[in-house]
Chain A
């Protein structure tokens, strides 16, 4: 069996990366990263890492601190030491007791597709903001307005 360490991209402790990191294989972040990470494989944010980035990957394991959105196409795992400030979208989520986070969470097969389409059509943000403002005064349980997805509301507003 191939040694997986050979093709794992590692940002070591003390290293600093700024920009877009696009990978085919797995990555391990132990240092400081600012920007975005995109991978089809597994991205591990290690304990002690300082990750100020949007991470989109097949599997994401967070054992450290992340400020940014996380999109896991397969699985997102937060260990008991994880600290996340950002929105989470994942096909499956596993959170260990002790993990701390603040942000919106969507988990399930449709959550990832919704997050990806939201990312790719970012210019629509103006309509989205307007819709958020309108529903903020309403009841979130009010199905007819607040549970409409943003794209529908943007279409209504147009």
Chain B
């Protein structure tokens, strides 16, 4: 029998690169044994507060959403069209939309800021890790 297709992700707890079934939505990291989320996460509407938003996928803050969280860990990037207050560590491109408002420290391999976006201060480290 053919083995199920896999994809490579980086564990946001221990940074180990691991292979997971392509269709899996969550997994347990074989390196640190912690549970990881593989799905993309979206904050769609209203205000949300949490201590952490973490996924190996992408995090999207939609235009009517306001997310206040201590940490955002996103393996595949972050897209903000609403309001985001967080310390962000992204493995993919961070896109700050024209109507977005962000506050916090950002670390990502690349950043796209559209004209009109508001950044209320924070330390940015953009470039290859």
Proximity bits, A93-127, B CB within 8 Å = 1, else 0: 11111111111111110010000000000000000
Are the C-beta atoms of A107 and B119 separated by less than 8 Å? yes
Are the C-beta atoms of A93 and B121 separated by less than 8 Å? no
A155 proximal to B (CB < 8 A)? no
CB contact list, B80-129 vs A, under 8 A: 85, 87, 93, 104-105, 110-128
A73 proximal to B (CB < 8 A)? no
State whether A107 and B127 are in contact (beta carbons under 8 Å apart), knowing that A95-B112, A141-B68 are contacts in the complex: no
Cβ distance A149 to chain B, nearest Cβ, rounded Å: 10
Are the C-beta atoms of A104 and B124 separated by less than 8 Å? yes
Q: B112: nearest residue on chain A (CB-CB)?
A: A97
Interface residue SS majority, chain A: strand
Cβ distance B4 to chain A, nearest Cβ, rounded Å: 33
State whether A102 and B119 are in contact (beta carbons under 8 Å apart), knowing that A140-B87, A140-B105, A141-B70 are contacts in the complex: no
State whether A97 and B119 are in contact (beta carbons under 8 Å apart), knowing that A102-B124, A102-B127, A141-B85 are contacts in the complex: no
A92 proximal to B (CB < 8 A)? yes
Cβ distance A104 to chain B, nearest Cβ, rounded Å: 5
**Choice from A92, A93, A101, A111 contacting B127 with Cβ under 8 Å:** A101
Once the chains are docked, how many angstroms separate the CA of A98 from the CA of B112? 9
B: contact size bracket: 20 to 34
Q: B85: nearest residue on chain A (CB-CB)?
A: A141
Q: B105: nearest residue on chain A (CB-CB)?
A: A140
**Choice from A83, A97, A141 contacting B110 with Cβ under 8 Å:** A97
**Choice from B110, B112, B116, B125 contacting A102 with Cβ under 8 Å:** B125
Once the chains are docked, how many angstroms separate the CA of A1 from the CA of B122? 42
Once the chains are docked, how many angstroms separate the CA of A93 from the CA of B19? 38
A: contact size bracket: 20 to 34
Once the chains are docked, how many angstroms separate the CA of A103 from the CA of B119? 13
Are the C-beta atoms of A99 and B117 separated by less than 8 Å? no
- Chain A residues within CB distance 8 Å of chain B: 75, 83, 88, 92-108, 111, 139-141
- Chain B residues within CB distance 8 Å of chain A: 68, 70, 85, 87, 93, 104-105, 110-128
Q: List 13 extra interface pairs beyond A93-B119, A107-B113, A107-B119, CB under 8 A.
A: A75-B115, A93-B113, A94-B113, A94-B115, A97-B110, A97-B112, A98-B110, A100-B128, A104-B122, A106-B119, A106-B120, A139-B70, A140-B104
Q: Provide a sorted-by-A list of 19 A–B residue pairs whose CB atoms are within 8 angstroms.
A: A88-B124, A95-B126, A97-B110, A99-B110, A99-B111, A100-B126, A102-B126, A104-B124, A105-B121, A105-B123, A106-B121, A107-B118, A108-B118, A108-B119, A108-B120, A111-B119, A139-B70, A140-B104, A141-B70
